Chains A and B, each alone.
Chain A
């Protein structure tokens, strides 16, 4: 998950944060890191570019992007060969 945090910081230009500042289960949106809808799109691009993983159903987004842990789990479960 440490690598994923580095990728998130880089993709979203969160230069004020270090990987250790992001909790594994910390909410990414609203009350957590405070990400917005454009950040959500960047996270989708990150999954596709860095992990060759696509989100088949947009309605799954809030569940997948709930935290770094849920993102990592989704990548683990859906990574294309």
Chain B
């Protein structure tokens, strides 16, 4: 049995954790991202160069791993499993728009969904097994089964998992940390728990 130690949710202008909900009065999605960055006092200039998917991933992982740090594990003991519906389409479309004039190298490098996972891993020094899946919607049943399978490996002690989706100004993020022993939230890692926390 595995346990959910904590989670972070970014949805409808809100940053949500088990402890608190922060609401931002932002003019638009990009303003929201920058206000959230300022609120977290990230001091990570690379954030500005990232595409929205990576920015959301870095914000959500920052919130999650500040409350439930994984620094007690070796880098290759922490896995990452993410999923979303739109892959990197948000950035793909913007890159496509630059092709007619001058294709943007800095947009091109974000035209893969799993790059957002790489940005999370770089930010937090995670080097464990990772995978990014695309599905029509967040599937608690599938996600709980897959993460439990990953956690069966001896070398995997923890897993950052969840849903990271954005297209235009529609965004929906739910990241959570799974560990083999109880800590923090200490909820049983199951489809039912994930469905309840994601609501």
Contact = CB atoms under 8 A, between A and B. Distances in A.
Contact of A45 (B34, B48, B105, B109): B105
A42 B103 CA distance: 9
A70 to B, nearest CB: 21
B49 A12 contact: yes
A16 B48 contact: yes
Contacts of B104: 42, 45
A45 B102 CA distance: 7
Contacts of B101: 49
Interface in B83-111: 101-106, 109
Interface residues of A, number: 12
A48 interface: yes
B45 A42 contact: no
A39 B49 CA distance: 10
B55 to A, nearest CB: 11
Contacts of B49: 12-13
11 contacts: A12-B106, A13-B48, A13-B106, A14-B48, A15-B34, A16-B45, A38-B109, A42-B105, A45-B102, A45-B103, A45-B105
Interface of B: 34, 45, 48-49, 101-106, 109
